[in-house]
Structures are given as structure tokens and as C-alpha cells.
Amino acid sequence: MVVVGGGPAGLAAAIALRQRGFRVMVVERGFPPIDKPCGEGVMPDGVAALSQLGVVCNGALPFRGIRFTESGDSVDGMFPRCYGLGMRRTLLHKSLVDRALETGIVLRWGESARLSGDFAVEIRCERLPCRWIVGADGRESLVRRRAGFSPPAKMPVRIGFRQHFRAAPWTDLVEVHWHDRGHAVVTPVAPDEICVSLLANDVRTRMAELLELYPDLMRRLAGAQISGTARGAVCSASKMSSVVRHRVALIGDAAGAMDAITGEGLALSFRQACALADAMADGRLENYEKAHRRFRRPSALMSRLMLTIGSHRRLRRRMLDALTTYPTVLSFALGVHSGLLPITAVPVGPAAGFLSRLLIGSSSKTQRRTSQMALDYTPKAIAPMRE
């Protein structure tokens, strides 16, 4: 079994396959630990999948929910009895590599893999013998193209940046700051460090311009030292009609990327990894295809909803107002979004109230609301338990 791409999806797939007894080799053109522009938050379903894979992320910081905020108004939604993990992308990568080595996976760094016409993986002049090929080579997947998959349906292109700041997190929530031109996501990644990722709808936007759109965030960061280098990437969501063809299966961004607004890219990759390994162990790759579609659906829906609401100021104001009035709706929505709760779990009364307030609006002004828990919070690094 050869996995092309040693990013989070490729390593997770390799570990899951190894756990089911396959002999696995990962070919990656970069060198560890691999960094990338990312919001650096792993949602609770991803934390559960990491635990299933036996991956321990020592030093990661838990977050208990999501805060939506704009112009001083904010609303908090807590995950239902679970938590996400914030951590530097390099820490996540290192943790996955450590686990891969522990399980006996062969890792080949600094090698660019190609797929030949007869479905063999080649590195320079070497042909790698394999029964199955996993394409985990990211958004611009070469495996996807060479294996003859239909090209992904592309969504609007956006630009994303990431910068770390040396500052103690002021909350144990991931903050999403809204603006007409995009959004900013603040993730606590260590007891003395936060990650700010900035997404803009206009790809010509520069990072310095973006930070200034969020004066509340700028005030929080006043005096905080920048740590590490900023990274940026053009990014777009994409959707695949199929993720399995002959002996090739796609995973992670290669199998269709989510818009960064969902914060689900990593979690989906980890869940896909477990489903792919199960399907391969049963010799029924069609089960992976089905699972892939099932996992993706709630995030795709949430992504469309967030992007639509996010690009209309009036809708954003109404959403904040409606969520402030019906705060349980946000917690349930987060549970459904990350696949932890079925959509039928959302209570009908509050959901109907929320929708009517969102669509029709209300005459009363949105309340200013700050979480007490956030003020009392002392950050502490923990690691997920191994099962």
C-alpha cells in the first residue's frame, strides 16, 4: 500500500491502515515537521478520530466551543460534552509522524511521487509495488488527475493567511470575527501563543490590510509579539463526484476541500482515514465512498450557510441576535456540524424561533454578551487520552 502525500490526511490514513494490518509506505515531497497556513483548530470529531488512531498531541490546548463576534457583540456556543484541540500545525504533524513510526510505517521524505499510466507509483526511476494507492496529495492532487478522476467542482476562490502571536489566550473558545470582506479566526494553540488566520473574499487582499478590519482583535493583540513567519495561500473549496477509482482512493483535500470557515478540514481527513481503512480491510471500497459523502454533508451545508450569512451584514447581525436569543441552537448546530449529533437532535422550538428571528428579524437591539467563563479562564495544555 502506498500513500502519496505525508500531510495530516496521508499520515492518518497510513496509521489507520497499519492498525488493520496493512504494510504501508508514505511518500512525501517535503520534510517533517511540515507547516502550512491553517487555523490550527481540530474539531471534536477530529479529536475523537485522533484518539482512535492512537495519536497523542502533547502540548495541544483544548477549546470548548466557538464564539462568533462582530463590532463588540458576540455569542458563544459550547460543544456538547467534548472539546476541540488547538495546536501548531508542526506539532500536529510531529505527533502524527511519531505515531506512524511507532506503528512501523515506512516514511520516505523529500521524494515526489508520480502515478504511471498503468496505476503504479513511481519515484524517480523506481516503481513501488502496491495493491492499493491512496492519494493524499492535497488540493492540487496529481494522483487525482493521473488516475482519471473527474475534475472537482470548484467554489469561489479566497485567500487565507496565518500568523502566530506570543500572547496568553483570553478564552478557551475559538473566536470567529466577522467582516464584510472575510473573517478572522483566533485559535489558542499554547498557554502563551495564539494563531490568527485571516480569510478574505478578494484574493488581491494583503495580510496587513486584513488585520485592521478587526479593531477588537487589534486591541487584544496590542503589544503582543509576532512569533514565527506569516504564511498565506490561495484557497478554494472543491467537491468531488467520486473519491474511489480502480485501485486508487482519495483522502483529505485531494478528495475535495472544505472552505476554511468550517474548521473541519483536518477532522474530516481523520474520520475519512478510519473509514477508508475499514473499507479496505473489508475489501469494499464503495463503503468508503458512502462514508465520505456522509461525513462531508453537514460541513458542506454549514459552509454554505456561513458563507451566505457572512457576506451579508444584515444577516450577520440577525444571526448574532437570533443566536443570543436561542443560544442552545448554536451548541446543537456545532454538534451536528462535527457529526457528533444527528440533525434530529436539534430542539424544534428553539430552532423555529431562531429561524424566524434570522429571517424576519426583531425590533430589539442585539445584546452585548461576554462569557464569564472566558474571563476566569486559565489556559492549560493537555493531551487527548489514548483508547
Ligand X SMILES: Cc1cc2nc3c(=O)[nH]c(=O)nc-3n(C[C@H](O)[C@H](O)[C@H](O)COP(=O)(O)OP(=O)(O)OC[C@H]3O[C@@H](n4cnc5c(N)ncnc54)[C@H](O)[C@@H]3O)c2cc1C
Interface residues toward ligand X, by CB under 6 A:
4-10, 27-30, 34, 36-42, 112-113, 136-138, 142, 160, 162, 197, 233, 235, 252-254, 257, 260, 263-267, 269
Distance in Å, CB of 279 to ligand X, minimum = 18
Q: Between 139 and 369, whose beta carbon lies closer to ligand X?
A: 139
Q: How many CB atoms lie within 10 A of CB 79?
A: 24
Distance in Å, CB of 195 to ligand X, minimum = 8
Q: Between 16 and 322, whose beta carbon lies closer to ligand X?
A: 16
Q: How far apart are CA 299 and CA 308, in angstroms?
A: 14
Structure-block grid coordinates of residue 216 = 477588537
Structure-block grid coordinates of residue 106 = 515506512
Smallest CA-to-CA distance from 277 within 144, 132, 143 is with 132
C-beta of residue 42 within 8 angstroms of C-beta of residue 92: yes
Q: How many CB atoms lie within 10 A of CB 160?
A: 23
Residue 204 is which amino acid?
R
Q: Between 32 and 353, whose beta carbon lies closer to ligand X?
A: 32
Q: Between 43 and 167, whose beta carbon lies closer to ligand X?
A: 43
Q: How far apart are CA 168 and CA 215, in angstroms?
A: 18
Q: How far is CA 40 from CA 148, 161, 196, 198, 254, in A?
A: 32, 12, 9, 12, 19
Distance in Å, CB of 139 to ligand X, minimum = 6
Distance in Å, CB of 254 to ligand X, minimum = 6
Distance in Å, CB of 326 to ligand X, minimum = 26
Q: Between 48 and 322, whose beta carbon lies closer to ligand X?
A: 48
Distance in Å, CB of 352 to ligand X, minimum = 31
Distance in Å, CB of 157 to ligand X, minimum = 11
Structure-block grid coordinates of residue 331 = 451548541
**Secondary structure letter of residue 75 according to DSSP:** E
C-beta of residue 152 within 8 angstroms of C-beta of residue 240: yes
Q: Between 142 and 155, whose beta carbon lies closer to ligand X?
A: 142
Dihedral over alpha carbons 288, 11, 302, 255 (to 10 degrees): -50
Q: Between 210 and 309, whose beta carbon lies closer to ligand X?
A: 210
